[in-house]
Structures are given as structure tokens and as C-alpha cells.
Amino acid sequence: MDETRPGDHPPRILVVDDEAAIRRLLSTVLESSGFVVHLAENGSLGLAAAAAVRPDLILLDLGLPDLDGVEVIRRLREWSQTPIIVLSVREREDDKVGALDAGADDYLTKPFGVPELLARIRGSLRRVVGQAPEPVFRSGGLEVDLARRLVSLAGQEIQLTPTEYEILRLLVTHAGKVLTHRQLLSRIWGASHLEQPHVLRVNISNLRRKIERDPSRPSLLLTESGVGYRLRAEP
Amino acid sequence: MDETRPGDHPPRILVVDDEAAIRRLLSTVLESSGFVVHLAENGSLGLAAAAAVRPDLILLDLGLPDLDGVEVIRRLREWSQTPIIVLSVREREDDKVGALDAGADDYLTKPFGVPELLARIRGSLRRVVGQAPEPVFRSGGLEVDLARRLVSLAGQEIQLTPTEYEILRLLVTHAGKVLTHRQLLSRIWGASHLEQPHVLRVNISNLRRKIERDPSRPSLLLTESGVGYRLRAEP
DNA sequence: GAAAACCATCAAGAACGTATCAAGACAAAA
DNA sequence: TTTTGTCTTGATACGTTCTTGATGGTTTTC
């Protein structure tokens, strides 16, 4: 848990290629580099998969059986900014220019070296980070900026201790849902403290003193008696 | 090409190449495509020009007489997100991977086709639209000019040691966010020092003595106890 | 409604994290 | 070589956070 990343997931890559051998190769290579790989064997399926999977990056073969590659790029670009790297056997310059102008981010001619492919993928993904708007949780007068690790109440910045912040972070990322005592205890203090709800209560109390307008009548950090705690999410 | 563009100006392109013939060629080609072209014949001049001209895109030859191309990329990336397209005679995959991982956006092997170059330039520029971060950080009385490696407090220039500057640079490029001890340690001292926060503390202390009005009551370089440090960003 | 289980809060000491000074090691420049 | 500046390390004092037990309030169960 250190670097800020787009989401929290390992990057998803969609591979659109009609040759089974290439799909297999890329699948292996990419997965062993820590990516989650989705496969599609023609243009229509690729478009459908892109909409369904919302990949972080698309590897697209230009020579598809059903649709022209440039057409696929154009259709994708109608609704998505996801980086597209084109893979193609065509050396003709017109093809490259066409693909790039249609909105592709990069163009690699087969056969390509795997290290170069991976470097270009890293580059494209790196560029997307930072453009993504950072999610800020808001409810009541409370604002929690997870990316900046900043909490404020009614515009006033608030100082939280590490444990307090960690509790709040868990609640925010499951806003609206109940987190049981055991869930909170195990994720913050570890399995050994499962039967010691006291330490959790003290921290919840301290947290409320900081983030609630009236700590004695909580409106955000709610107790679910006998179960756990819940953070009220705004409608 | 009437896309939305960064500023109001025609895009400025900086060409860094030691071969006069290539500079002439690119200059002609790019100007006739509507770009404003600036030229530099080696790495140091290129870095200076980038800081002075603030180009929208940089075309960089890897084989420069003074600095290694990858080094130039790294130095640029310390303060600038400007797209960099590398032009090189080197075919070796290692070179490509190195340049891309250092932060280059694209890599073209000479000889390249002019239409393809133009297409890649259009692509890179298209992607950048909307992001034009000011490379001078200001907050409190502090000014940090990342391009010129210049720091001043209340108009007075300040002398920082390399490590101090590096810490400040990291904080500035993540202004407002908390950088954990581990992030700072690993990026400045390397993974081996992850468990030695002492050396970081001493340096933070020294840094505060130089950039804070009242070092005993920090107003810019804030401690997040148990977590790390944060540079206050102005609203 | 009473008993039992659960929950909130306070306060104090222990444990842990942080700031600063100063001395020695080291490296680059004169 | 000496000088100069920088980095590392140790010692020490200071500050914050965590844990724990005591006490009293609240909710659930029967």
C-alpha cells in the first residue's frame, strides 16, 4: 500500500486479435507481468468487450476479419479515451498514419519485441494516471480525499492519527455498508485482536469527536448495535 | 486540424539534434505544417531551451555529443510533462525500452517517414490538450522553479544541498499529498534504507531551517505523524 | 420491566514516533 | 594536501498516539 494508482486493481488489458497464437502469446506475457488480460477475436467482439470490461488499455490488431481496424478505433473513440496500441503486420505508412489519426496512441509493427511492447504499455498507462480525477468522498460536512490523505469537516482541515484514518478509510471505501467489528478489528489490528472490541470502541469514539458536529449524537458514523459500524453515504 | 489546443498559439516544437541536416529538414517540414520550431544542437542547450521556450512537444535525438539522451529525458521529466518523441538511428530494443521507461512518449527509428512523424506528433499533441501545469510552485513565501532548479523564500534565493532539493522536488511534484516515509526513503535513498527514517528526519529538519519562516513551527512542510510529510499547497 | 449484553467516554502510563544538535566520515574542489 | 561542503550516525529531549481499566449509559432480550 504505497503508490497512488488509477484504481486499486491491477491494470486490465484487452487484446483484440484474430490469430489464436498471438492471443495466447500476449495473454501469457501480459499476465506474467501482472496485468489482467481479456481477449476478443474480432472487431465487433472487441467493441463489445471494451464496453463491458472497461479495460485500462487496448491492444488492437489492424487486420481483423470483420471490421477495418481504423473503423474499430473510430468507434471506440466515440465514447472512450482508453489508450489504444495498434499491432500490425502492415508496414505501409498510410496505415500507420490512418490509425494514429483515428485516435490510436501508438503503433507497433509485427514482429515486435516483447520488452518494447511492455515499455510502450507502461508508458501509455503512466500517462493516463494523473488525468484520472481523484475520488473524494463527501457526506454531511465531511470531505475525505483518499488520494491526498486529507480529511476536512465544514472546510476545516482535520488531523487524524494513523489508526483513526485507517478506520475512516475502510468506512469510506465501503460507504453505506455495515462493517462488522470483526472486519474492522482484523483489518486494522490483525486476527489476534478479534475478541477485543474495546480498542475499536475507543478509537471510534475519538474519531467521532473529530468528524461529527455533535459527537454525542452521531449523524455520519453510525452504530449498528451488536453488528458493527456504518458510514452514512449521501444520496 | 482545428482541434482544441493548449494555449492560443500554434504549437511550439523543440528539436534537439546535433546533425545540422536533420535540423534543417525538420525545421522546414514542421514549419510548413503550421508549427513554430525551435532548435538546439546538444543536450544542455536543449534543456535550457525547454525551460525558456516551454515547447508543446520535444523531438529528441538520442545520440547527442554532450549528454546521454536518456539522461536528458530524465532531467526533463523532473519538472515537465511535455511529450517527448525520440528520434534515433539505434535499432536496439534496449535503447527503446530505456528511453520509454525514462519517460519518452514515443520512439521513431531513423530513417522515418515524414507523414508518420507528423501523425505521431498530432497524436501526442492531441493527448496533451488541457494539461499545462505551471512548473513554478508557489506557497507561503516559498518559490520553487523546477525547470531552473531555483528555490527562493520571500524573494531571497536559497541554497539547497542535492538531497534537500530532491526531497523538496518530490514534495512539490506531489504538493498537497502526503508522501509516506517509505516513499521518500525508497525514491531518494533506495530500497535498502526503507527502515531508516532517521536520515530522512535529519534532512527534513535541515530543509525546514532553510525554507520555513519559523522552523520550530512549520507552516509549509508539515509532519503527518506516523505517516510521512506533506507540502502545503496554496488554495 | 429487569437482567444481560453491549456501547461510549475518560484518564493515565506505556510505547512509539519526531526534532535537533553535534561529531565524525566522506568526497569533491582548490 | 588542505579546504569546503555534504551526508551519516548517535545521543538526547520532546511530542504524539495507543492501550488499558474503570465507570456509567444504552440497547436488546426475555
* Residue B60 predicted with pLDDT over 90: yes
Residue B179 has a pLDDT of 93
Q: Are A158 and A152 in contact (CB under 8 A)?
A: yes
Chain D: positions less than 7 Å from a protein CB are 5-11, 16-22, 27-29
Q: Which residue of A has its CA nearest to B127?
A: A105
For chain A, percent of residues with pLDDT exceeding 90: 67
Asked whether the bond before B162 is cis by omega within 30 degrees of 0, the reply is no
Residue A136: alpha-carbon gap to chain centroid:
14
Mean pLDDT for B107-117 is 90
Alpha-carbon distance B155 to nearest alpha carbon in chain A (angstroms): 29
Look up residue A2 and give its three cell numbers: 504505497
3-state secondary structure at position A21: helix
Burial of A46 (0-12, 13-18, 19+ CB in 10 A): buried
pLDDT digits (tens, 9 = 90+) for B32-58: 999 999 999 999 899 999 988 899 999
Alpha-carbon distance A200 to nearest alpha carbon in chain B (angstroms): 19
For chain B, percent of residues with pLDDT exceeding 70: 94
Look up residue A206 and give its three cell numbers: 475519538
Q: How many CB atoms lie within 10 A of CB B198?
A: 9
Residue A8 has a pLDDT of 55
Return all residues near A23 (Cβ < 8 A) that are at least 6 apart.
Answer: A15, A17, A39, A41
pLDDT digits (tens, 9 = 90+) for B141-156: 899 998 888 899 988 8
Asked whether the bond before B111 is cis by omega within 30 degrees of 0, the reply is yes
Please provide the average confidence, as pLDDT, over all residues in chain B. Answer: 89
Residue A215 has a pLDDT of 86
pLDDT digits (tens, 9 = 90+) for B125-142: 988 765 556 678 999 889
Q: How many CB atoms lie within 10 A of CB B180?
A: 17
More confident of the two residues A184 and B6: A184
pTM of the predicted model, to two decimals? 0.81
pLDDT digits (tens, 9 = 90+) for A65-101: 999 999 999 999 988 889 999 999 877 878 889 999 9
* Amino acid at site B151: V
What's the CA gap between B41 and B81, in Å, rounded? 21
More confident of the two residues B235 and A49: A49
Residue B135's nearest CA partner among B49, B213, B204, B77 is B77
Largest CA distance in chain B: 60
Residues of A with CB under 8 A from a CB of B: 2-4, 93-94, 96-97, 100-101, 103-106, 113, 115-116, 118-120, 122-123, 126-127, 131, 147-150, 161-162, 165
Q: Are A193 and A185 in contact (CB under 8 A)?
A: yes
What's the CA gap between A163 and A171, in Å, rounded? 12
The C-alpha angle with vertex B7 and arms to B16 and A58, in degrees rounded to 5, equals 75
Interface test with B, best of A96, A149, A156 (most B CBs within 10 A): A149
Which whole-number Å values give the CA distances from A156 to A145, B106, B175, in the listed order?
A: 13, 44, 18
* Residue A153 predicted with pLDDT over 60: yes
The C-alpha angle with vertex B216 and arms to B210 and B217, in degrees rounded to 5, equals 100
Residue A207: alpha-carbon gap to chain centroid:
28
* Amino acid at site A50: A
Residue B131 has a pLDDT of 53
Residue A132 has a pLDDT of 65
Which whole-number Å values give the CA distances from B6 to B12, B48, B108, B136, in the listed order?
A: 10, 21, 24, 18
Residues by CB within 7 A of strand C: list them. A 181, 197-198, 201-202, 204-205, 208-209, 215-216, 218, 223-227; B 181, 197-198, 201-202, 204-205, 208-209, 215-216, 218, 223-227
Residue A212 has a pLDDT of 92
The span from the first CA to the last CA of chain B, in angstroms, equals 36
For chain B, percent of residues with pLDDT exceeding 90: 61
**Amino acid B214 CA to nucleotide C19 C1' distance, rounded Å:** 14
What's the CA gap between B41 and B19, in Å, rounded? 7
Residue B211 has a pLDDT of 93
* Residue A131 predicted with pLDDT over 90: no
Residue B97's nearest CA partner among B70, B63, B127 is B70
Instruction: Using an 8 Å CB-CB cutoff, list chain B residues near A120.
Output: 100
Residue A84 has a pLDDT of 95
